[in-house]
Amino acid sequence: MKYEEDKFLKELEKHIKNTYSEHYSGSIQPAEFIMSNADTLDYLRGNVIKYAFRYGRKNGYDNKDLFKAIHFMMMMAKYSKDMPVIEDVSVEQNKPKSVWQIEIYVL
């Protein structure tokens, strides 16, 4: 493949498998717990932004940050099937309503 997508996808798959086997094994993932009571995708969206922004800044150009961002995007695709469509995305309507949301927007 032109941009080594096949290699990247294999590394991404390995990263995701390791996430489930190494992190929080035997218990619910924090993202699953949060999304089980969520009515928006803001938590997942915030993590996509966080890891995409961090790429090249915190640990250099470490693909793990990209893998994490993509994994959260994949979760967004899964959870969005149960979410209402947002018709108006005005700034006023989508201001953070809590400290938790402010942290997500800042990250």
pLDDT tens digit sequence for 43-85: 999 999 999 999 999 888 989 999 999 999 999 999 998 887 7
Task: Tell me the C-alpha distance between 73 and 52, whole Å.
Answer: 11
Signed CA dihedral, 84, 97, 37, 67: sign only:
positive
Dihedral angle, C-alpha 10, 15, 21, 25, nearest 10 °: -150
pLDDT tens digit sequence for 20-47: 877 666 677 888 889 988 888 999 999 9
